[in-house]
Amino acid sequence: MSHADAIVEPPKGAATTASTPGAKVAVFEDAHRRFYGVQFHPEVSHTQGGQELLERFLFEACGALPTWTHTNIIEKSVDDIRRQIGEERVLCALSGGVDSAVAAALVRKAVGSHLLCVFVDTGLLRMHEADQVEEVFGNRLGMDLVRYDAADTFLQALSGVTDPEEKRKVIGEAFIR
């Protein structure tokens, strides 16, 4: 199951439809309200039956039509970005994670050299991961990338902080400053 979270009981009106030895409620559904919940990651490749679950949810529960392709989604996204941005320059915060990487790639495809990516090295990534971000996005993909070394700032701000929620707040505040 996910990150030590647990569903203790399904919401009122919902029924447990799957469980595991470690998760009393792995899946629940309220068929009347068409409301569903899962306590695992059906989108990852090693989840047995995950692809089928997502397909059934999309095409049966939601009634979506299987007419899209990855290419259609990318082309539509790029067209939308071009229409919204026009000839303006774009500043993109790049963390090296999947979300900002996809955003940067789509914007780059839409506006080309009008994109400037800023990568703040917080000192909190795995060893050499910041260098990999710079290598991949700056050198291999040829994006205009500025790397700002803020490791000392972030590590000093986090010194002595042990509570995970407080760490999240401290990191957010350090980014703002």
pLDDT for res 3: 60
Token digits of residue 142? 């040829």
pLDDT for res 177: 81
- Please give the model's pTM, rounded to 2 decimal places: 0.68
pLDDT for res 4: 66
In degrees and rounded to multiples of 5, residue 7 shows phi and psi of -100, 115
Decide if 81 contacts 110 (C-beta within 8 A): yes
pLDDT for res 28: 93
Pick the CATH number of 70-176 from 3.30.1490.20, 3.20.20.70, 3.40.50.620, 3.40.50.1010: 3.40.50.620
Q: β-strand 15-20 against 23-30: which pairing, if any?
A: antiparallel
- Mean pLDDT for back-to-back runs of 10 residues, the chain (177 residues): 74 92 90 88 88 90 88 94 96 93 96 96 95 95 96 96 94 89
pLDDT for res 74: 95
User: What are the residue boundaries of the structural domains of the chain, listed by start?
Assistant: 15-61, 70-176
